[in-house]
Structure 1
Amino acid sequence: MLPHVAVCLLVLAVPIASWSYKGDDGPQHWAGHFPTCAHHHQSPINIPLKKGLHHDTSLGHLDFHGYASNVALKLWNNGHTAKIVIDGNASVSGGGLPHGGKYWASQIHFHWGKDDKMGSEHAVNENKMPLEMHVVHYNSKYENISVAMHEPDGLAVLAFFGEIVEHDNEGFAALISALQKVKNAHDGQQLPNSTLLSGFMPKEHNKFIRYKGSLTTPPCSESVTWSIFTDHILLSKSQVAEFRKLYVTDSTGDHLVDNFRPLQQLHERHVTTNFKPSENSATALAPLYALVAFSIGLKVWV
């Protein structure tokens, strides 16, 4: 195991208090054990189109390193999400990340709903998608992610909305197969060596929305530079359904669904883009307008 990923198994795990997505340990009670969850730079947020977006010419584009190379990937059901631990040299840099530093890829995890009506954490014009994928990176200037997650420039998370389409996404085939073997909490499954991080990404991933926020799970550390991409990951209905077959404990417990935090207030923060929001809807904003149309359609027809 490489030095900079030696603590990946500890990713975002803080065993000082229990928490969940409902009941007495649900989001409305998180701040009682994790005070930062009540601060004013929290995530996720609603992304307002047009008027709320500002083009920041200094952002440029993110540079991806090692995403098309073989890295060791292990899938875990941790009772809160399906998490892929990354053991390798994949990283991102540029794109207006703090101090232009390199951020090591540490893990991927997902948020989804009990049905196709919602599931994503972030929203666009108050509308949500069935799933959201987060690729978590930590600043290479820190010893490990456990240290970085408490620093203002410690984490960089890439977020992608999941859209349901007719055909399976072959880049997710190995993950979907592995989900069937980690149905109970604490189950793990190594993904095939041929599985590439680039396979989880949309074909186009150049345009993103940027804001400063927090972890969306306890301890809610306000250490995250968010990049929310306008292009979606495309999954079939049956592929998304496999996430809903996981359990929060074991097969005697509840299914792991609706694992998303409620939207948080933006307060004084600014939401910026690395593209001109004035570009017509057939270009940069098209996927986000499609998200709104999709959500409206669900509200009308479901």
Structure 2
Amino acid sequence: MDGAVLHMQRSEVSELTWGYDEGMEWGLLFPDANGENQSPININSREATFDPSLLTAPLCLSYLTCRECEVLNDGHSLHIHIRSKSVTTGGPFPIGQEFELSHICFHWGKEDQRGSEHTVNFKAFPMEIGREHLGLKGLTDILQEIQYKGKAKTIPSLNPNTLLPDPLLRDYWVYEGSLTTPPCCENVLWLLFRYPLTLSHAQIEEFRRLRTHSKGVAPSDGCDGQLGDNFRPTQQLNDRVIRASFP
């Protein structure tokens, strides 16, 4: 699954310790996690509302090749920090406003039957790629060098367009939600593309070799140290409306 996460404002990253095993308890430390507009959600395609206004100005992702991008294993996920002027316009956004791509993050399962944060008609995908606003082989080639938590690697070139599932960007869903990791702020507009990006099993297996702990440090009690299943369970839709750019 492929999604674009667009923040209406920047949120400070909390220094408090959290993990996916304690997902149900996040609200004790991060009050926003108890909100009514949390993410991720299940997309029920039959209940999504076609919104013709999304076609007034076509969605445009003007992604430029990033030079000297940092790839980081933070023990929770894999992040790519983008240093190029890559912006998103059109679609659900006011005319004249631009949203700049900040970084790309990955969520995946330890098995192919799960991994994505969002589901479509209750179907999960092995991985979800989120962009906050590569030639993938170039990325997977360096994962062994950042196998452990805290490890980072600079890659000379990355083209974010290679991770777009639909070159025409015509079919997508939109809804108002939150960050899927603490502090779970509800200031996010989610775009989820209808058609998934195809990755090979071997490529996803490279992500499953990553570790949640630093090199030379034992994993925490009850943890096998494998980085994976780093997704939050789907949250209630409540009274939100899922809009679609296609009938």
TM-superposed CA distance for 1:192, in Å, is: 2.4
2:143 maps to 1:183: no
- Classify the secondary structure of the residue corresponding to 1:210: strand
Identity of aligned residues (%): 35
* Matches of 2:239 and 2:95, distance apart in 1: 22
TM-superposed CA distance for 1:14, in Å, is: 2.1
* Matches of 1:246 and 1:90, distance apart in 2: 28
Equivalent position amino acid for 2:148 in 1: N
Q: Which residue of 1 aligns with 2:61?
A: 64
- Classify the secondary structure of the residue corresponding to 1:75: strand
* Matches of 1:183 and 1:57, distance apart in 2: 45
TM-superposed CA distance for 1:70, in Å, is: 3.9
CA contact (8 A) 1:97 1:225 kept: no
Q: Which residue of 2 aligns with 1:108?
A: 104
RCO higher in 1 or 2 (8 Å CA, sep ≥ 6)? Answer: 2
Unaligned runs of 5+ in 1: 1-10, 138-169, 277-302
* Matches of 2:191 and 2:45, distance apart in 1: 15
- Classify the secondary structure of the residue corresponding to 1:74: strand
Q: 1:218 to 1:99 in 2, by over 3 A?
A: farther
* Matches of 1:106 and 1:53, distance apart in 2: 28
- Classify the secondary structure of the residue corresponding to 2:89: strand
- Classify the secondary structure of the residue corresponding to 2:20: coil
Q: 1:58 to 1:129 in 2, by over 3 A?
A: same
TM-superposed CA distance for 1:112, in Å, is: 0.5
Q: Which residue of 1 aligns with 2:226?
A: 255
2:49 maps to 1:54: yes
TM-superposed CA distance for 1:99, in Å, is: 6.3
TM-superposed CA distance for 1:250, in Å, is: 2.6
Q: 1:235 to 1:13 in 2, by over 3 A?
A: farther
* Matches of 2:135 and 2:122, distance apart in 1: 29
Q: 1:203 to 1:96 in 2, by over 3 A?
A: closer
Equivalent position amino acid for 1:229 in 2: F
CA contact (8 A) 2:42 2:119 kept: yes
CA contact (8 A) 1:109 1:135 kept: yes
* Matches of 2:144 and 2:166, distance apart in 1: 26
C-alpha RMSD of matched pairs (Å): 1.7
4+ residue runs over 6 A deviation: none
Q: 1:171 to 1:77 in 2, by over 3 A?
A: same
Deviations 1:215-269 (A, max 9, x none): 0000000011100001211111010011111111135321111000011000000
Unaligned runs of 5+ in 2: 1-9, 220-224
From the two aligned structures, give the one with the greater helix fraction: 1
The aligned length equals: 228
